[in-house]
A and B are shown apart, each in its own frame.
Chain A
């Protein structure tokens, strides 16, 4: 979330799209309701009339997978009807920047300029700004890169800063505003209506209502979840929403923003932590063979020419120092080469790992509380791939479908040689540590009871395994033991591994004397500071009580609410630096005056900043040894090198979101001449088994219910929840049920080329038969919480049906829109 849960109470208009927040994030609804009670308007757009829709003022159905068409239409409506926030767009976005004259989009082929057929990817030379001049990096004593000359800082070449050409009148045909406007000319109400299956009247009402938040003193927010991300263009769905919020001037405002309601209690933390192929903790680039063969190339390429990331080497060197301790020195590039480098021969994100297991390339598999035999896309294929593994180690609280994949109804254990270890994990309240919610609040969980029987906290399991592996390499040698033996592993307190010691490492410290840091601004690139996770600097920084989480910010329980905007600045701690609303500079005009004085996050009084939130911009600078306020400027997005919000950008697959159809779609693309995004991942894999709309005419979407959670491995083990929601079902629109002779409660078979499942029918008006491009399309819905492994409630695995294709940026599968057929069993 760019804001946080309580901030929802500050909104004037809500748009829930790609989320069923009343059921799946019930506490969010509490805060929406508070605003609703004060007169806010709530819009829900969803394929299904959800429980959220039942609470809303305006409901619109939509065909799953057509969000870019919907938002493209909204962009056009906002511009055509002059609803955009002009001062905001002109000053805080790249609307005025001139784009390369070679930029083009060909509607007939559905391709942007720069496609390289050899590499099957875009080259970005025509997607960038026209540049006036390049200012060389300033390493003089007063320059941004002065620190690069200090002892201990590795040598590298800071980049020069490009100065883009602009037309502040926004009239130049080559300026981004005009190109953006032209791009969405095709997205008129009639076309969008036909693509999305929404009536023109409803579309107009939704667009007009949300567009009203373009008034400078209004705030609109968008809440979304996996309904937006689980598409092969999920990243562009998200961008489309971001662009709408920039046009309306909603990013950075209290009650504004783009709010991802994330699906796990600490998935914000696991994303922060770089439990992902391409990241180190804190969103730095993981080293690769091709791009970053050595530390110098990493520093050269990753250091930004402008904005905060000019400091990136300080973050990365401090991370290496925490990782390798005193073994990391200037002479050995701070241990850079001991980090494993990604190759370019194999993709190794989740979906690809099953392909690599299937060919025997991956032989061993660790699972830390995840259940892919139930939850990945095309689970049947994933289970077959797992059966080729030599070994698996599942760390969990129950026997999941993954730990017991060899017991799957479609597999024969006698033919599977995989050895599976199942290690009992402690429950969240049987151990201590930090969780990070969607609003980036870090909160401490205290240990309430001992782990039951022989269960252990995951950190302790890591510790046991690590010490045993280190011992084996010390005693026996083996494939390069250096990266293992040089790691610093010093998280014991009183002779036992302790999360408080890890919290200190995450927070960061000055190595000399291990003094905890209150800000990442104090990190250095000279090897004198260590920090496992720069964005958490300050959450555990009280040097007077390093062993007492209740005396740390992470344990803070102050109820004060300075400014009365439900910021709760003294309760827990939000990364970064306890900032509650990201991009809050944009909540005020170029002179630093809040657009709406009743929603003041930051405010320039003429000679100082009077802020309710921690500034997300350079608000003060040290001049002659004293902090001095910095007068307002338009650098509202200073994490970008151009320090500006981007309506268009050279991202991976599209410079501006364009509609394509789902991999398996019930219709042709009516907006351009190409079916799927040219950069769809894994569509060519044999395991995918694409189905045609002739074979499988029914569109399907998957979703969650409030009583169960994810793969059900926790909730299907709680009798009260099983009693509340005992069985799996398929929601079938009345018209389809009539056509197929399906009655409420009938057992049905739902199937495609990848799988076949049996579920009971729930015939309902909540799902609609839509008119799409002139033809009727039925959409059905499947909740996805069931599998064979539970004492209380079992069912078939819905994800057997989902296609294992995905987005080129996020590599997230397309669970939310594919094709099946349904029949009475």
Chain B
């Protein structure tokens, strides 16, 4: 059976198991053949994605093995970038993983925050806390501030507004995340809502 790489992604859409071998840098025909066991992308699953830097919307192919990120590169089928990426796009892999300069092992990027943290009043460092505690504490503070600063009527008009809280950001989130943010924040009564479009 012969199928083009393009057709392959088109058919499956979601992650596909790439036990077959084909070049990732050009659109070539996919066919079963001998596989170099040292090949970087052997036994990887692929999915398509979109770059997270400028607004170009360049396509990506992301390769994952055993649940871990192996490679990110430009999607050669994508009509906008035709496989190319800029310096930022080409380094997307490092947002999650970097090479340890000592051991040459792939390690998680140490800059990443991966646990909920809190900085208490007057403190000079973070403390770790559980998600449950973080959500409970934040919800309590939100409620206290909302209750204390809520404006039910303004100049005789129903306002149902919470003046004491502001929300900023969202231009890097998915549209579905953004709807979650707009609905919860507006739902609390916030009017001070802005994002990077105001920069």
Contact = CB atoms under 8 A, between A and B. Distances in A.
Contact of A487 (B171, B187, B193): B187
B57 A443 contact: yes
Contact of B54 (A25, A427, A491, A550): A25
Interface stretch (A307-315, A341-349, A586-594, A746-754): A341-349
Given A30-B81, A275-B178, A421-B118, A365 B188 contact: no
10 contacts: A263-B54, A270-B197, A340-B186, A364-B142, A370-B170, A404-B119, A420-B118, A424-B115, A463-B180, A812-B198
Contacts of B141: 364, 390-391, 419
Interface string B145-176: 11111111011011111111111111111111
Interface in B52-90: 52-60, 62, 64, 67-69, 72, 77-82, 84, 86-88, 90
A663 B183 CA distance: 37
B1 interface: no
Contact of B108 (A452, A566, A714): A452
B165 A506 contact: no
A468 B138 CA distance: 9
A117 B186 CA distance: 34
A790 B108 contact: no
B126 interface: yes
Contact of B13 (A551, A561, A717): A551
A503 B179 CA distance: 9
B134 A478 contact: no
Interface in B102-144: 108-124, 126, 131, 134-143
A188 interface: no
A533 B179 CA distance: 9
Given A265-B54, A483-B187, A452 B112 contact: yes
Interface stretch (A76-84, A240-248, A453-461, A770-778): A453-461
Contacts of B26: none
A428 interface: yes
Interface stretch (A94-102, A606-614, A627-635, A719-727): A719-727
Instruction: Give the interface size class of chain A.
Output: 35 or more
A434 B174 contact: yes
B164 A27 contact: no
Query: Which 10 A-B pairs give the minimum distances between C-beta atoms?
Result: A550-B13, A433-B174, A437-B57, A370-B169, A479-B150, A453-B114, A462-B180, A368-B169, A264-B171, A499-B176
B112 A26 contact: no
Contacts of B59: 443
Given A361-B163, A458-B177, A717-B111, A265 B52 contact: yes
Given A372-B168, A465-B139, A468-B136, A24 B114 contact: no
Given A446-B15, A724-B87, A265 B196 contact: no
B184 interface: yes
B124 A414 contact: yes
B96 to A, nearest CB: 6
Contacts of B28: none
B171 A459 contact: no
Contacts of B166: 348, 353, 356-357, 362, 364-366
A122 to B, nearest CB: 23
Interface of B is mostly: mixed
A397 B80 contact: no
Contact of B182 (A274, A438, A464, A503): A274
A788 interface: no
B21 interface: no
Contact of B150 (A361, A480, A715): A480
Contacts of A366: 165-169, 185
Of A427, A555, A566, which is in contact with the most chain B CB atoms at under 10 Å from its CB? A427
B154 A341 contact: yes
B154 A26 contact: no
A558 B15 CA distance: 18
A383 B108 CA distance: 31
A446 B49 contact: yes
Contacts of B151: 343
A266 B175 contact: yes
B53 to A, nearest CB: 5
B143 A472 contact: yes
Given A421-B134, A428-B49, A810-B198, A30 B172 contact: no
A27 B58 contact: yes
Contacts of A717: 94-95, 109, 111-112
B163 to A, nearest CB: 7
B25 interface: no
A671 B28 CA distance: 61
Contact of A265 (B168, B172, B198): B172
Contact of A479 (B51, B147, B192): B147
Given A27-B86, A429-B62, A502-B180, A557 B197 contact: no
A505 interface: yes
Nearest to B119: A420
B28 to A, nearest CB: 15
B98 interface: yes
A338 B183 CA distance: 12
Contacts of B117: 421-422
A435 interface: yes
B67 A276 contact: no
A375 B3 CA distance: 48
B14 interface: yes
Contacts of B157: 289, 293, 341
B69 to A, nearest CB: 5
B68 A458 contact: no
Given A364-B142, A429-B72, A557-B9, A422 B180 contact: no
A111 B116 CA distance: 54
A264 B109 CA distance: 22
B86 A349 contact: no
B111 A790 contact: yes
A480 B160 contact: yes
Contact of A459 (B15, B68, B123, B176): B176
A264 B196 contact: yes
A128 B56 CA distance: 38
A489 B183 contact: yes
Contacts of B42: none
Given A424-B115, A532-B179, A707 B12 contact: no
Contacts of B48: 445-446, 557
Contact of B172 (A262, A264, A471, A708): A264
A349 B196 CA distance: 11
B191 interface: yes
A499 B68 CA distance: 22
A439 B159 CA distance: 37
A265 B95 CA distance: 15
Contact of A30 (B84, B110, B113, B149): B84
A721 B59 CA distance: 20
Contacts of B15: 446, 448
A473 B146 CA distance: 11
B190 interface: yes
B63 to A, nearest CB: 8
Contacts of B80: 5-6, 27, 437, 441
B49 A368 contact: no
A350 interface: yes
A457 B154 CA distance: 36
A27 B10 CA distance: 23
Contacts of B161: 340-343
Given A348-B192, A717-B95, A718-B91, A337 B175 contact: no
Nearest to A404: B119
A444 to B, nearest CB: 8
A703 B185 CA distance: 32
B122 A413 contact: yes
Nearest to A815: B199
Given A281-B179, A348-B192, A812-B199, A263 B116 contact: no
Nearest to A21: B54
B5 to A, nearest CB: 11
A353 B169 CA distance: 13
B181 interface: yes
